[in-house]
Amino acid sequence: MGLAATLDNPSEGRITLMGIPVNPLTEDQRADLRNKYIGFIFQNFQLLPSLTALENVMLPLELHGIRGAREEALNLLERVGLRDRSGHYPTQLSGGEQQRVALARAFINKPRILFADEPTGNLDGDTGAMVEQLMFDLNKDFGTTLIIVTHNPELAAKTGRIISLRSGRIVGDTKSNG
Amino acid sequence: MTQSYTSRLTFLVKTAIRDSRKNRMRLVLFMSSIVLGVAALVAINSFNYNLRNEIDREAATLLGADLAASGNRPAEPGILGVLDSLPGEKAREMEMLSMSYIPKSDATQFIRLKALEGKFPFYGRIKAEPVSAAESFRSGPGALVDESLMLQYDLRPGDSIKIGKYMLEIRGRLSGAIGSIGAASAVAPAVYLSIESLDSTGLVQPGSLVNYAYYYKVPPEFDVEKWKSSRKKLFRSESLRVETIEDRKDNLNQAFGFLNSFLNLVAIVALLLGCIGVASSVLIYVRSKTNPIALLRCLGLRPGEAFLVYFIQVMALGVLAVLVGVMLGVMIQNILPFLLKDFLPVAVQITPSLRAISEGLVIGLLVAGLFSMIPLLQIRKISPLKTLRISYEEETSSGTDALGMLLYLVILAVLVGFLWLLTGSAVAALIYVGAILAAYAVLALVSSGIMRLLRRFIPREAGFITRQGLSNLFRPDNQTRTIMVTMGMGTAVLTTMVVLQSMLLRNVEMMDEGRQPNMILYGIETSQMDSLRTVTKSHGLPVIQEVPIVTMRIEGWKGKTKAEWMADTTMNSKRWAANREARVSYRDTIAADEKLVSGQLRKYKGPGDTIFVSLGTTFAEALGVDIGDEIVFNVQGSRMQTYVGSLREIEFRNLSTRFFIIFPNGVLEGAPQFQVLVTKAPDNASMTRYRGDVVRRFPNVSVVDLTTILQSVNQIVGKISFIIRFMAVFSLLTGLIVLISSLTLSKYQRLRESILLRTIGATRRQIIRINVTEYLFLGLLATGTGVIISLAASYAIARLQLKLDFVIDWWAVLLTMAGLTGVTVLTGMLNSRDILKSTPLEVLRKEGV
């Protein structure tokens, strides 16, 4: 995932993302690419502790210099059911709430690809299910390509294609009914 | 990106402000380093500039005339004629140290006699009470007596004081005099009288230690500088020191050179510690910010922009800290003149110096900017991959890129610039920077060496705790080198200060140690010697030394006359050596405080034999002569050809008689001479009795009480050391910040390990012991290396700059080392209190281990 999301450099081989060859890009160009096309959801949420929920969500748009980020962010927080908690800091939110804020942040720049690293790994069953549902709903609405990295076969089964890896090698590639 | 530059910058500023919300306290260490460093710089420099301005303003009053000529013997008629050709007014002064007798209290007192003739001072005035006394002492048997002496013996105008054979009436109290610098007048209280009165005391005799001065006031339109420079050659060949107001300014600035260079040293120390403090505290901050930075990078922030976000944060607080530092510096500057007032010839007016303030601002901002950039540049290398893998190691973290190299070069250039500004010498600045780099290299080498050694040689039989504690020092991600360098540098700088301070004090104390004589009797006529010896013995005092003294002048050396040498532009002899009225003694032995370094003392066998003299090395070097060279003396009219037979090194810290030139016995016995007797009184009471007796029976004899001088010197040194300590507190505070910063660096590393240990069942006690072992070893190692570096540095500074004997106060060194190691362990312990207070799970969750 690190390689696909342009976070890491391949030691060999070529990576092409949306027709753009990634290998020759500089760090700055990769940063721009991520900001424009890619969203992230992490197992441990990765919210900035010193930013409120609203500010965390606004961040990618502000980074892009887009006006009206606040409205957009509030709408998304509404969508994940946290509009009334927009002024809270991450430490004042539960794990499920934090991951919902992270979801809102991931979708705000309408990414073409969303990378989710064990998105429910740190959540209990019910909360995990709720976040999962929200993620798939948003995905459908925004028309994003969602790539989930997971050990959870049930979650994997909900996607349209499963690529299995073992020791860093692809061992299976199946279409499912997701 | 179509985004405009300004909107991008606005975003970066906004992010910087938001990100700093909950972490501003984390930059307290950074701010404190700057505040203290800048405060010290501003305070010290402001004070220095104010003092210099004041000296410029007051130089005329301090000299009291437009031109002064002085020497240790009366001016020759020829030269006096030239001086007297100056238009305007003239005056004359004779100054000497002597004993006085106060009949009212039946006491004797060591005094500094200042005898005047003419209307000196022409500028400024002698402050006396009643005011009329400043004039009335100049006629008849009158004296103006220092107020401290008046107070001590409860004297009032109208009382008497006997000086030599002459009884004078005290006309008034002296409350302030021209040209008297606190420390000098502290040696002995001053008594003013007329030259006519001085003649009547009978104290001035051949061989008496008298300073003669001639003062001139010229009309305002007369250019005295030009007049003096056109007669430079003439004055050069004479043993007179000719001084104008301009020269006095320079001399005063030089006289305060030591104070100046010490204060500069403190400023440099504060600045260097501040630099280390800035770099290490920002490094801690960056470490604590790795995760947010990685995330911002994930979301599309460019590496350079990530750097800017934190640079903006750091600089905003940096500017604030610099401003606070400047204000604090101005406040402290108000205290400095109060502390130093006893040593200054002028009352320093406290005006904030714009130059010092702007220097403080510029230097503070540069230090904050440049030194915080060292760790901040690492931000560019924080990979966004850290969001996925906490333990991800940046591949590039070890090397320094081109930008980093450039930064280091700029820092070096700026450091040289600062130090140049502070020391006024490019060479000194380069030496300082060279020393800093060398110290850095030593610390880095020692830390690498120790890591290597530990990895190989940790004893297997050592217990788990010891092995674990020591292994922490070389395990991956260790902070050994960083801590060694920051803490070692801090220790080195601080210890240098402590060592130098104790060395200064020790050098002075050494004067007063052992069986050294504490009384010297000058100006004894040969005929008085027998009865004086009897008086001395009757008081139960030993006659430690009897020294005959013959005064003579040097007429020529190495085949040329003095006049020929003086006209010779290639001459490299020092004027003081050639021009001095030499006070010579004769003996065939080496004294206890001397060491023969070459040649040998050769006896004189009688008329016709060659006369071999023995010279002090300093004197021989100054005159430019060596073994076998010829020197011709003029012994009160008769010419005497001699050759250098031996060279002696003379111990000068010992307060007793010593001679640059020693003749062999059998040559000078017939020449006019006077004697010196050296004795030691066991206590004050017997000294007072003896002194009183001598002054009454032999009024022409001057008794120099070395104890008084030593006590005064001690008092002065006591005050100076107080100032030294006061200023050292600055360095200490900054040093502590550096220490805490460097140790906090390792906090994040230790945290994870300790949690894992606790998770697998280690007790709190075991974790504490592991940490103590690690910090103790690290502390001892860093402070030990720092101390060794500081000893080398203080040796260099003591020998090359302060010209002091290198004596180490081991207790002070050990105490500093123990203290710093103690603080290391304590800070280390405080750092791990988070781990010990909370359950492993809490921390595991928080740290995302």
What would the pLDDT profile of B686-708 be if each residue is shown by its tens digit?
A: 887 888 888 788 877 777 766 65
pLDDT digits (tens, 9 = 90+) for A70-121: 999 999 999 999 999 999 988 889 989 999 999 999 999 889 999 998 998 8
User: Are B18 and A31 within 8 A, CB to CB?
Assistant: no
Q: Chain A within 8 Å of B19 (Cβ-Cβ)?
A: yes
The closest of B666, B667, B650, B550 to B590, measured between CA atoms, is: B650
Q: Which residue of B has its CA nearest to A105?
A: B299
pLDDT band at B194; cut points 50, 70, 90: very high
User: Are B11 and A50 within 8 A, CB to CB?
Assistant: no
**Smallest Cα distance from A81 to chain B, Å:** 23
CB pairs under 8 A between A and B: 89
Do the beta carbons of residue B812 and residue B495 sit within 8 Å?
no
pLDDT digits (tens, 9 = 90+) for B31-70: 888 888 888 888 878 877 777 777 666 667 767 888 888 8
Q: Which residue of B has its CA nearest to A109?
A: B299
**What is the C-alpha separation between B298 and B385, in angstroms, rounded?**
8
Mutate to test the interface with A, among B299, B307, B391, B394 (most CBs of A within 10 A): B299
Dihedral over Cα of B290, B292, B296, B301: its sign: negative
Mutate to test the interface with B, among A26, A47, A56, A59 (most CBs of B within 10 A): A59
The residue among B198 and B582 whose pLDDT is bigger is B198
Q: Chain A within 8 Å of B23 (Cβ-Cβ)?
A: yes
User: Are A46 and B387 within 8 A, CB to CB?
Assistant: yes
Nearest to B300 among A1, A31, A55 (CB): A31
Is position B12 within any domain? no
Angle at B52 between CA B51 and CA B56, to 5 degrees: 115
- In which residue are the tokens 């006095």 written? B248
Do the beta carbons of residue B750 and residue B827 sit within 8 Å?
no
pLDDT band at B730; cut points 50, 70, 90: low
Give pLDDT, residue B841: 57
Last residue of a domain, one of B166, B187, B217: B217
Q: Residue B677 phi/psi, 5° resolution?
A: -120, 135
* Residue A6 identity (one-letter amino acid): T
User: Are A1 and B388 within 8 A, CB to CB?
Assistant: yes
The answer, yes or no, to whether residue B586 has pLDDT greater than 80, is yes
The residue ranges of DSSP E strands in A42-168, in sequence order, are 113-117, 145-149, 161-166
Question: Which residues, in sequence order, are CB contacts of B362 under 8 Å at separation 6+?
Answer: none
pLDDT band at B369; cut points 50, 70, 90: very high
Q: Which residue of A has its CA nearest to B847?
A: A44
Number of structural domains (chain B) is: 2
The closest of B415, B504, B496, B423 to B44, measured between CA atoms, is: B423
- Determine the 3-state secondary structure of B85 from DSSP: coil
- Residues from chain A contacting residue B7 (CB–CB below 8 Å): 65
Question: Which residues, in sequence order, are CB contacts of B100 under 8 Å at separation 6+?
Answer: B108, B109, B110, B111, B161, B162, B163, B191, B695
* Residue B632 identity (one-letter amino acid): V
Exposure letters B804-814 (e unless 16+ CB within 10 A, then b): beebebeebbe
List the structure tokens of B535. 């008086």
**Smallest Cα distance from A71 to chain B, Å:** 17
User: Are B301 and A63 within 8 A, CB to CB?
Assistant: yes
Looking at residues B530-542, what average pLDDT do you find?
91
Q: How far apart are the first and last CA of chain B?
A: 37
- Residues from chain A contacting residue B21 (CB–CB below 8 Å): 50
The closest of B231, B243, B286 to B23, measured between CA atoms, is: B286
Question: Which residues, in sequence order, are CB contacts of B164 under 8 Å at separation 6+?
Answer: B98, B200, B201, B202, B203, B699, B700
What is the SS3 assignment for B167-185? Answer: EEEEEEEEEECCCCCHHHH
The residue among B770 and A112 whose pLDDT is bigger is A112
Do the beta carbons of residue B280 and residue B745 sit within 8 Å?
yes
- In which residue are the tokens 């013997």 written? B73
List the structure tokens of B742. 């460097």
List the structure tokens of B806. 């290198």
What class has domain A16-175? Answer: alpha beta
Do the beta carbons of residue B499 and residue B791 sit within 8 Å?
yes
Exposure on the CB side of residue A102, measured as CA atoms within 13 A: 30
Q: What is the CA radius of gyration of chain B?
A: 34
- Residues from chain A contacting residue B3 (CB–CB below 8 Å): 64-65
Is position B78 within any domain? yes
Give pLDDT, residue B657: 66
Nearest to A34 among B4, B23, B299 (CB): B299
Q: What is the number of other CB atoms lying within 10 angstroms of the CB of residue B447? A: 25
User: Are B22 and A50 within 8 A, CB to CB?
Assistant: yes
User: Are B292 and A48 within 8 A, CB to CB?
Assistant: yes
Mutate to test the interface with B, among A17, A37, A63, A64 (most CBs of B within 10 A): A63
**Smallest Cα distance from A44 to chain B, Å:** 8
Q: What is the DSSP letter of B341?
A: G
The residue count of chain B comes to 849
Give pLDDT, residue B771: 81
The answer, yes or no, to whether residue B613 has pLDDT greater than 60, is yes
User: Are A31 and B295 within 8 A, CB to CB?
Assistant: no
Last residue of a domain, one of B656, B679, B702: B679
Sketch the domain layout of chain A as residue ranges. 16-175
ipTM confidence score: 0.76
Exposure on the CB side of residue B281, measured as CA atoms within 13 A: 29
Give pLDDT, residue B181: 39
**Smallest Cα distance from A106 to chain B, Å:** 9
CA torsion angle B636 B637 B642 B644 (round to 10):
40
- Residues from chain B contacting residue A62 (CB–CB below 8 Å): 11, 14-15
Give pLDDT, residue B310: 92
Do the beta carbons of residue B705 and residue B688 sit within 8 Å?
no
Angle at B562 between CA B558 and CA B565, to 5 degrees: 70
Q: Residue B314 phi/psi, 5° resolution?
A: -65, -40
Nearest to B298 among A28, A34, A49 (CB): A34
Is position B109 within any domain? yes
The answer, yes or no, to whether residue B845 has pLDDT greater than 60, is no
Q: Residue B791 phi/psi, 5° resolution?
A: -65, -40
The answer, yes or no, to whether residue B761 has pLDDT greater than 70, is no
- Residues from chain A contacting residue B384 (CB–CB below 8 Å): 7, 34
pLDDT band at B543; cut points 50, 70, 90: confident
- Determine the 3-state secondary structure of B374 from DSSP: helix
pLDDT digits (tens, 9 = 90+) for B278-295: 887 888 788 888 888 998
* Residue B593 identity (one-letter amino acid): D
- Residues from chain A contacting residue B14 (CB–CB below 8 Å): 62
Question: Among B210-214, B330-334, B354-358, where is mean pLDDT lowest?
Answer: B330-334
Q: Is the peptide bond before B121 cis (omega within 30 degrees of 0)?
A: yes
Q: Is the peptide bond before B517 cis (omega within 30 degrees of 0)?
A: no
The residue among B470 and B322 whose pLDDT is bigger is B322
Query: Can you spell out the DSSP letters for B351-363?
Result: ---HHHHHHHHHH
Q: Chain A within 8 Å of B383 (Cβ-Cβ)?
A: yes
Is position B166 within any domain? yes
Q: Which residue of A has its CA nearest to B6?
A: A65
- Residues from chain B contacting residue A58 (CB–CB below 8 Å): none
**Smallest Cα distance from B30 to chain A, Å:** 20
Give pLDDT, residue B320: 93
**What is the C-alpha separation between B333 and B335, in angstroms, rounded?**
5
Q: Which residue of B has its CA nearest to A39?
A: B299
Looking at residues A33-42, what average pLDDT do you find?
87
User: Are A2 and B389 within 8 A, CB to CB?
Assistant: yes
Interface of B with A in 385-424 (CB under 8 A): 385, 387-389
pLDDT digits (tens, 9 = 90+) for B428-472: 888 888 888 898 899 989 999 988 888 888 776 777 778 778 877
The answer, yes or no, to whether residue B2 has pLDDT greater than 70, is no
Do the beta carbons of residue A130 and residue A138 sit within 8 Å?
no
- Residues from chain B contacting residue A46 (CB–CB below 8 Å): 291, 295, 298, 387
**What is the C-alpha separation between B116 and B95, in angstroms, rounded?**
9
The answer, yes or no, to whether residue B785 has pLDDT greater than 60, is yes
Q: How far apart are the first and last CA of chain A?
A: 21
- Determine the 3-state secondary structure of A15 from DSSP: coil
Last residue of a domain, one of B645, B679, B713: B679
**Smallest Cα distance from B384 to chain A, Å:** 6
List the structure tokens of B487. 């803490």
The Cα-based distances of B374 to B368, B378, B405, B704 in angstroms read 10, 8, 10, 61
Give pLDDT, residue B839: 59
Mean pLDDT of all residues belonging to chain B: 79
User: Which residues does A contribute to its contact with B (CB < 8 Å)?
Assistant: 1-2, 5, 7-8, 27-28, 31-36, 38, 40, 42, 44, 46, 48-51, 55, 59-60, 62-65, 89, 105, 117
Is position B242 within any domain? no
pLDDT band at B629; cut points 50, 70, 90: very high
Is position B232 within any domain? no
pLDDT digits (tens, 9 = 90+) for B374-423: 889 989 888 888 877 655 555 444 456 788 889 989 988 988 888 887 77
Angle at B396 between CA B285 and CA B13, to 5 degrees: 40
pLDDT band at B180; cut points 50, 70, 90: very low
The answer, yes or no, to whether residue A176 has pLDDT greater than 60, is yes
Is position B115 within any domain? yes
Q: What is the number of other CB atoms lying within 10 angstroms of the CB of residue A18? A: 12
- Residues from chain A contacting residue B388 (CB–CB below 8 Å): 1-2, 7, 42, 117
Angle at B447 between CA B444 and CA B453, to 5 degrees: 140
Angle of helix B257-288 relative to helix B28-63, nearest 10 degrees, comes to 170
Domain that holds residue B102: 67-217
Alpha-helical regions (H) of B541-697: 562-567, 575-579, 617-623, 684-697
Mutate to test the interface with A, among B298, B307, B392, B842 (most CBs of A within 10 A): B298
User: Are B383 and A32 within 8 A, CB to CB?
Assistant: no
Q: Residue A125 phi/psi, 5° resolution?
A: -50, -55
Q: Residue B251 phi/psi, 5° resolution?
A: -60, -40
Q: Chain A within 8 Å of B20 (Cβ-Cβ)?
A: yes
pLDDT band at B714; cut points 50, 70, 90: low
Exposure letters B452-479 (e unless 16+ CB within 10 A, then b): eebeeebeeeeeebbbbbbbbbbeeebb
CA torsion angle A27 A28 A33 A38 (round to 10):
70
